[in-house]
Structure 1
Amino acid sequence: MTSPTENGDASQNSDTSSGDERTVLEERKLTGMRRTIANRLQESSQEAAHVTASREVDAEELVRAAEVASDKYDVDVSVVDIVLCALSETLADHPAFNATLEDGLHRLYETQNVGIAVDIDAGLVTPVLTALESKSLDQVAIERRELTESVQTGSYSMSDLRGGTFTITNLGVLGIDSFTPIINPPEVAILGVNRIRDRARPGDEGVDFRKQIQFDLSFDHRVVDGADAARFLETLATHIENAEALL
C-alpha cells in the first residue's frame, strides 16, 4: 500500500510535468494594423448588442446572372458583384441598416458607402465602395476589383477606409457555410456571404439538386430588431432569386 506522503509526492510530480512543459513556438506582439483591428473588434463586441440572423437562398439565378453579365458587359462580373447590387436595392428598402450609431444617435443615410472586407497578410482591411446606389453592375464590378487590388498591393490610402455605412464580408470563397460577422463600428449591420453549394430539394419528379447560398446578417439590436432583420433578408432573398432583373 502507498502511504499518504507518497501519494502527495506522486500527485505533485504529475502536476509539474503535465502543466509546465510547454514549448513556445513564437511570440507575436499586437502592433500596427493588427492592434488596431483588435481594438476595433473589442470595441464592437463591448458596445454593440450583436445578434445574427441567417437565411438560405436559392442561388441558381444568381450564378446564371453573373455568367450572363460577364458576356453582356465584357467585364468579369462575379457573384459578389451581383450580391452588391441586390444589397443596394435591399438597403434602399430598409434604410435603418444603412446607418451608424454614435453618441445615442441612429443616423440613416441616403448614400450607400459599403465596406468590402479584404483579407491580407497584415489583417482584415475594409475599403469602401462609395455611392453604391448610383452605380451600374459593370461599374460595381470594375470598382470593387480596383479597390480589392489596391488593398492587396498596399496602394490604398486611409481615405479609402472611411465613411462606411454598411459592410459586406465574404468567406464563401474560403469554403465557409456559415459564420457570425462582427459589426464594423459605428455601423449597425454587416452581411456575411457564404459559399454556394448544391442542396437537395423536392422536385416535380422526386428530388432536385439546386444551388443554395446562405447569408448571415449581424445587426445591432439596440437600433434594429429581429423582425427588421428577417424582413431585410426576405427582401435580399427576393432580389437574389430574381438576379437577372439586376442586369
Structure 2
Amino acid sequence: MRKTIANRLQESYREAVHVTVSREVDAEALVAAADDAGVSLTDVLLRALSDALAAHPAFNATFEDGTHRLYEEHNVGVAVAIEDGLVAPVVADVGGRSLDGIAAERERLTEAVQSGDYAMADLRGGTFTVSNLGPLDVDGFTPIINPPQIAILGVNRVQERARRDEDDVIFRRTLPLDLSFDHRVVDGADAARFLGTLAEGIESAGEYVDEG
C-alpha cells in the first residue's frame, strides 16, 4: 500500500500543476447543524460541498490525456487513515442523498476500510476528494490532488476567533479550508469563487437539517 501511495503521489506532482488557496469560514451554523442532526461536521460539510460542486462543475471532474471530463454525480472520496497508510473511500452521488443518507454511507465506508472489510469498488470512481486533519488539531496544510481528479479540499480544526461586533468583541468558531487544484484546468479566480460558494453553504448549514 505504501508503494502504491508513493507512486500515486509522485504521479500527481509530476503531472498536475498544484496551487492551493485558503479561506477561513464562520463555522457556527455548521457546528449547530451537526449537533441538531446528530451527524458529524464532515457530513454537513459534504452536503455543502455538493452544492458548491453543482455551482462550479469544472471542479467535479478529472483530467486525463488532455481531456477535462465533467461528471454529473458528485462522488466524493473522504480520506481515512488506516494502519498501512491512507485510503479515500468514495461516497457516491452525494448530491442525491439526504444529510442522514450521507452520514450513514460515510460511516459505513469508514468502518469498512478501518476493519479491512471493503471492496476495491469502494475506492473507485471519485470525482473530488476531502481530507480532514481537523481531528488531529491541524491548522493548515497543502493537500495533494488525487489523480486524475483536479481538486482536493483540506479541512482543518475548528478554531475560536475574536470578532468586533459594533462596540463589542465577540468570539466565533471558524473553520480553515485549503483547496488544492490543478492550474492546468482551472484558475485561481475559479478556486476563489468555489470557496466562496462553499462558504455560503457552510454559513447557512441549518437549511440542510430541515431537508433531513
TM-score tier (shorter): over 0.9
Partner of 1:122: 84
Normalised to the residue count of structure 1, the TM-score between the two structures is 0.84
Partner of 1:230: 192
Partner of 1:178: 140
Gaps of 5+ in 1: 1-32, 71-76
Aligned AA (1:39):
N
Partner of 1:82: 44
- In 1, Cα distance between equivalents of 2:168 and 2:100: 39
Shift of 1:46: 0.8
Shift of 1:203: 1.7
Aligned AA (2:165):
G
- In 2, Cα distance between equivalents of 1:175 and 1:207: 25
Q: Counterpart of 1:37 in 2: which secondary structure? A: helix
CA RMSD of aligned residues (A): 0.6
**TM-superposition CA deviations, 1:101-150 (whole Å, max 9, x none):** 00000000001110010001100011111111100000001110010000
- In 2, Cα distance between equivalents of 1:138 and 1:65: 12
Shift of 1:206: 2.2
- In 1, Cα distance between equivalents of 2:175 and 2:109: 25
The structure number with the bigger radius of gyration is 1
Partner of 1:168: 130
- In 1, Cα distance between equivalents of 2:179 and 2:193: 11
- In 1, Cα distance between equivalents of 2:53 and 2:66: 22
Aligned AA (2:63):
L
Shift of 1:156: 0.6
Aligned AA (1:194):
N
Partner of 2:2: 34
1:58 aligns to 2:26 (yes or no): yes
Gaps of 5+ in 2: none
Shift of 1:84: 0.2
Aligned AA (1:36):
T
Greater than 4 Å deviation, 4+ residue runs:
none
Structure with greater contact order relative to length (CA < 8 Å, sep ≥ 6): 2
- In 2, Cα distance between equivalents of 1:194 and 1:246: 21
Partner of 2:35: 67
Output aligned runs, 1:88-237, within 5 Å: 88-237=50-199
**TM-superposition CA deviations, 1:3-35 (whole Å, max 9, x none):** xxxxxxxxxxxxxxxxxxxxxxxxxxxxxx000
Aligned AA (1:63):
V
Shift of 1:81: 0.3
1:45 aligns to 2:13 (yes or no): yes
Identity %: 65
**Length, aligned pairs only:** 209
Shift of 1:48: 0.2
